[in-house]
Amino acid sequence: MTTVSTGVVSAAEGWLAQDPDPETRDELTALLARVSDGDADSAAELADRFASRLQFGTAGLRGELGAGSNRMNRVLVAQAAAGFAAFLVRREEKPSIVIGYDGRTNSDVFARDTAEIMAAAGVAATLLPRALPTPVLAFAVRHLDASAGVMVTASHNPPRDNGYKVYLGGADHGSQIVSPTDGEIAEEIERVAATTSVLDLSRSDDYATAGDDLVMDYVRLTAAVAGTPAGREKQPRVVYTALHGVGWEVARRVFATAGFTEPIPVAEQAAPDAAFPTVAFPNPEEPGAMDLSFETATRVGADLILANDPDADRLAVAIPGAGGAADPAWRQLTGNEVGALLGWRAAERLTATSTTGSLAASIVSSPALREVARQYDLDYVDTLTGFKWVSRVDGLAYGYEEALGYLVDPAKVRDKDGISAAVDMLALASELVTQGSSLAEHLRAFDARFGAFASSQVSLRVSDLSEIPRITSGLRASVPTEIGVHPVERLDDFAEGFEGFPPGDILRFWLSGDERHDGARVIVRPSGTEPKLKVYIDAWSTTGDAVARREAADAVVADLDAGVRELLR
């Protein structure tokens, strides 16, 4: 029988006494009653809810909705808002903040709570006018010259999750927070949680609500990414999905302002719906998430599919061709393929305008962008994983990460932006159609010019987080001499820091090339958001024509994929 400590019960009762939300109060009251009756499952659940606390970090807060310190709820959000307000008031004489929210359950409630608490604490607060994409909030922080921003969203997490993403203006230029700032904010939040009932926090309705002119400014500047209509007289037939998120309203306005024919929406997924009824997991990378897009595109004879995740900061792209088992008629491009094409386009833009700038990608993203930068004589920077790092690169002209995140207009926003990436991709596709080409042919042209770059990813989910450092320690202690049939040339170990990167549990293996390919690499790191060990595999070839290069790179990745799975087994 599972028992629960008196400390956990006491924490739950203290939480209940300050919870302003009747739904979570009722939920917790019923749970405590079941625990009192001796129900073992309820005791385990109560312990899970209160034995720890959702940690505030560089990604802010994110977790499952529900009562308790280890869940997302109004108590936790009020403590976070009060702590963040204290940080801002201590940091600046006249701080300001802009607050946005998406269509998830309680996003609007959490946003209003934040606005009221910020306003009462002396922070000039502006609330976005309705549920809007994360990129609009990131844009507003810079556009309004705000000290900070909060976006209430869980992005592409499961339906029952929500989150609290934090940005800083000023010297941070509207990027997401990084260490040590996250720790300083977390200390203030912990102080509030330890000393103050959220019912005693001052609140004020003296906050502003932004008008639609702010959204229109975002639309106008984002549409400008597409450039002039010259050279794109023809347009592909496009299907768009918002995956039940908040992307469609703003995306369609951007497409129209840029001069594109309105895409055909996946009707079942166009409007925000916190239940996400047509997908098991609202992430376009997950199996099944794009199925309705494939069906719609096949039915209407589309040439291109564009998909934003629920808060529209990521972009997925699919083109006609030999796809996978889900739908052989469609091939979903990888984040690295889209990243390479948009990076090539960014390099062409810089060259055409005689402008300098840096290209950047996270270290787990494909080496393809580095080669683009080399051939165009542009600076290139590898960053740690996460757009909070990509967005901070000096002189950034374009950045991406393989998990479908792209930043094509850093002068406007300093975070990944799935809508600006979508309009840039649509402009590219239109130009290619006008020239009698296609995205598939453009990918082959990339292979011919820069080399073929192939990639894959292996994830090992663990039930015990201690398994991850055990595995990586084992790889350090006994470095493999080969992975698959490919010899390991060297290992970069980031444990004590490496080439300017801070210490981290990251291993990067470099593998020898042969007569068909130039080399390969395998990166092993823990997931930052899930109980997983993640392995990123890349190989490249500049030998032979584009077809031979692609075949060689794909074959090496397939062998390394099998080798990694054997190594981890």
HSE-CB of 209 using CA atoms within 13 angstroms: 9
SS3 306: strand
Cβ partners under 8 Å of residue 12, min gap 6: 28, 31, 32, 46, 49, 50, 68
**CATH fold for domain 451-568:** TATA-Binding Protein (3.30.310)
Sequence ranges of the domains in the chain: 1-51, 70-210, 217-329, 336-447, 451-568
- Please report, in tens digits, the pLDDT of each residue of the chain (569 residues total): 457 888 899 999 999 999 999 999 999 999 999 999 999 999 999 999 998 999 998 889 999 999 999 999 999 999 999 999 999 999 999 999 999 999 999 999 999 999 999 999 999 999 999 999 999 999 999 999 999 999 999 999 999 999 999 999 999 999 999 999 999 999 999 999 999 999 999 999 999 999 999 999 999 999 999 999 988 999 999 999 999 999 999 999 999 999 999 999 999 999 999 999 999 999 999 999 999 999 999 999 999 999 999 999 999 999 998 655 556 789 999 999 999 999 999 999 999 999 999 999 999 999 999 999 999 999 999 999 999 999 999 999 999 999 999 999 999 999 999 999 999 999 999 999 999 999 999 999 999 999 999 999 999 988 888 889 999 999 999 999 999 999 999 999 999 999 889 999 999 999 999 989 999 999 999 987 678 899 999 999 999 999 999 999 999 999 999 999 999 88
* Predicted model pTM: 0.95
**Domain 217-329 superfamily per CATH:** Alpha-D-Glucose-1,6-Bisphosphate, subunit A, domain 3 (3.40.120.10)
Q: What is the pLDDT of residues 87-133, one digit of tens each?
A: 999 999 999 999 999 999 999 999 999 999 999 999 999 999 999 99
Q: Hey, do 217-329 and 451-568 end up sharing a CATH topology, with the first three levels equal?
A: no
Q: What is the pLDDT of residues 315-324, one digit of tens each?
A: 999 999 865 5
Tell me, what amino acid is at 16? L
Q: What is the pLDDT of residues 264-294, one digit of tens each?
A: 999 999 999 999 999 999 999 999 999 999 9
pLDDT for 566: 92
Q: Give me the residue label for tokens 């999905």.
A: 241
Sign of the torsion formed by the C-alpha atoms of 253, 254, 259 and 265: negative
Structural tokens at position 457: 């990813």
**CATH fold for domain 70-210:** Alpha-D-Glucose-1,6-Bisphosphate; Chain A, domain 3 (3.40.120)
Cα 261–chain centre separation: 28
Nearest-CA neighbor of 492 among 481, 478, 504, 506? 506
Residue 155 is a catalytic residue: yes
pLDDT for 5: 86
Cβ partners under 8 Å of residue 417, min gap 6: 135, 138, 222, 313, 406, 407, 408, 409
Q: Which of 42, 96, 147, 155 is catalytic?
A: 155
**Domain 336-447 superfamily per CATH:** Alpha-D-Glucose-1,6-Bisphosphate, subunit A, domain 3 (3.40.120.10)
pLDDT for 1: 41
pLDDT for 324: 53
- Phi, psi for residue 178 in degrees, rounded to 5: -130, 170
Sign of the torsion formed by the C-alpha atoms of 425, 431, 436 and 441: negative
Cβ partners under 8 Å of residue 261, min gap 6: 235, 238, 255
pLDDT for 44: 94
pLDDT for 532: 87
- Cα distance between residue 139 and residue 293, in whole Å: 28
pLDDT for 345: 98
- Cβ atoms 84, 210 nearer than 8 A: no
SS3 530: coil
pLDDT for 57: 86
Element at 352 (helix H, strand E): helix 335-352
- Cα distance between residue 289 and residue 261, in whole Å: 25
